[in-house]
Amino acid sequence: MFGTQHILTRMAALVTVGDVCSPILTNFDAETKISDAAGIWETLCSDNTPSDPLSYISMVKRQDKIIGWLDFTDLVADPETKDAVETCMHSISIHSLVTSETPLLEAMKLFNANSPFSFLVIKGNKIVGFLSYLDILSIPFRACLFSMLLSIEQTMLDIVQTAPDLAVEKLNKDKIQRISNGIKKRENSTRKISAAEILENLLFSDVLSIIENCVTTKSCLPSLGAVFTIRHQILNLDDSGKSLIEQTEKTHRRVDQIVKLRNALAHPKDPNCIYRLLPKGDLQGFFKWLTGLENELISYSGKNKLADLSVD
């Protein structure tokens, strides 16, 4: 089984920015009117795939020299304007550039809460495209992320399978019954279903729940234990209006996140779901946490069995 960082490293050696970046739509002269540029942009997109105007950027030139760039939102911000495109373009700086040969893993490090949403891609001394956060979360990235989550899922399953009876005790009785009945129905049998067989039919969320409810094991996985975040803070007055009561609601934000990401990648019904589950500002924190969790799981699985304080 490959660890998260090893999978990322192997992927990064194969996939570069040039493989996933988006193309430039066209070049506009700096004196082109914004309204004219918007019309040209929409016409060009109608003949392209994808046809979404937001999937492209265009360059701005003066006397055949690139002086800036635009995305479609720059052109439609003020539909009544008579200004030229140079008034709404973005300047080019060294901090807005990334080379086409940059490995995907290194390019991922560019994106954080304060970073631009897109970077211009250069090859040699020529701008050949742009890399947006949507490009980072493209098919190669999703394949890598899915492999990482499957690695974590399998490691967790390996751990719970070291103590099948204890693991099954942590499951809801209705779930145990449903799994048992499903196995019996498939086999057309009335035999007793073992704990090990039940564990083979669990969902990722079930395996996570077992480990979380085994105190001894969870105490050895600090990354799993440190996943709580406060969602709401509610202040209430009592009937007399004198006492202030503070209430907080906590949620397994990270645990919920990896379960939803795993399911979204396995069953991609909504192509935009991953962008909501893994926003740009959370990318670095998420991978740091995920890598730490997997390393802890692998270390634990090599030396220990699933354990709980209530079990001798």
pLDDT tens-digit readout, 111-169: 998 888 899 999 988 999 999 998 888 888 888 888 889 889 999 999 999 999 999 99
In this structure, what are the phi and psi dihedrals at residue 60, rounded to the nearest 5 degrees?
-115, 130
Q: Are residues 102 and 176 in the same domain?
A: no
Q: How many CB atoms lie within 10 A of CB 93?
A: 8
Of 16, 42, 40, give the one whose Cα is nearest residue 29.
40
Q: Are residues 156 and 295 in the same domain?
A: yes
Q: Are residues 150 and 270 in the same domain?
A: yes
d(CA 128, CA 154) in angstroms, rounded, equals 41
**Residue 94 DSSP code:** G
pLDDT above 50: residue 231: no
- pLDDT at 88 (0 to 100): 93
Q: Are residues 148 and 282 in the same domain?
A: yes
The pLDDT tens digits for 9-37 are 565 567 889 999 988 999 999 999 999 99
Last residue of a domain, one of 84, 109, 136: 136
Q: Are residues 148 and 276 in the same domain?
A: yes
Whether residue 132 lies inside any domain: the answer is: yes
Q: In 91-185, which ranges are E strands?
A: 97-99, 118-123, 126-132
- pLDDT at 141 (0 to 100): 84
The winner for highest mean pLDDT among 26-40, 74-88, 249-263 is: 26-40
Last residue of a domain, one of 102, 136, 170: 136
Last residue of a domain, one of 86, 103, 136: 136
Across all residues in the chain, what is the average pLDDT? 85
Distances (CA, A) of 2 to 140, 146, 304: 17, 13, 19
CA 301 to chain centre: 26
Whether residue 308 lies inside any domain: the answer is: no
d(CA 92, CA 90) in angstroms, rounded, equals 7
pLDDT above 60: residue 2: no
Whether residue 309 lies inside any domain: the answer is: no
Q: Are residues 169 and 209 in the same domain?
A: yes
- pLDDT at 13 (0 to 100): 63
The pLDDT tens digits for 184-221 are 999 888 889 999 999 999 999 899 999 989 999 999 99
Q: Are residues 241 and 94 in the same domain?
A: no
Whether residue 187 lies inside any domain: the answer is: yes
| 176 — pLDDT class (breaks 50, 70, 90) | very high
Give the least confident one: 17-21, 269-273, 308-312. Answer: 308-312
Residues whose CB is less than 8 angstroms from the CB of residue 125 and which lie 6 or more positions away in sequence, other chains included: none
Residues whose CB is less than 8 angstroms from the CB of residue 254 and which lie 6 or more positions away in sequence, other chains included: 227, 286, 289
Whether residue 306 lies inside any domain: the answer is: no
| 255 — pLDDT class (breaks 50, 70, 90) | confident
Q: Are residues 71 and 158 in the same domain?
A: no
Whether residue 231 lies inside any domain: the answer is: yes
- pLDDT at 80 (0 to 100): 83
Percent of the chain with pLDDT over 70: 86
- pLDDT at 234 (0 to 100): 46
- Supply the pTM of this predicted model: 0.75
- pLDDT at 143 (0 to 100): 84
- pLDDT at 250 (0 to 100): 43
| 233 — pLDDT class (breaks 50, 70, 90) | very low
Whether residue 152 lies inside any domain: the answer is: yes
Q: What's the structural domain count of the chain?
A: 2
Q: Are residues 168 and 292 in the same domain?
A: yes
Whether residue 47 lies inside any domain: the answer is: yes
Q: Are residues 164 and 247 in the same domain?
A: yes
CATH number for position 77: 3.10.580.10
- pLDDT at 81 (0 to 100): 87
Buried b / exposed e across 263-283, counting CB within 10 Å, b at 16+? bbbeeeeeeebbeebbebebb
- pLDDT at 104 (0 to 100): 85
Domain that holds residue 262: 140-301
Q: Are residues 217 and 247 in the same domain?
A: yes
d(CA 269, CA 253) in angstroms, rounded, equals 22
d(CA 11, CA 143) in angstroms, rounded, equals 9
- pLDDT at 5 (0 to 100): 55
Q: Are residues 218 and 279 in the same domain?
A: yes
What element of type H or E holds 136? helix 133-136
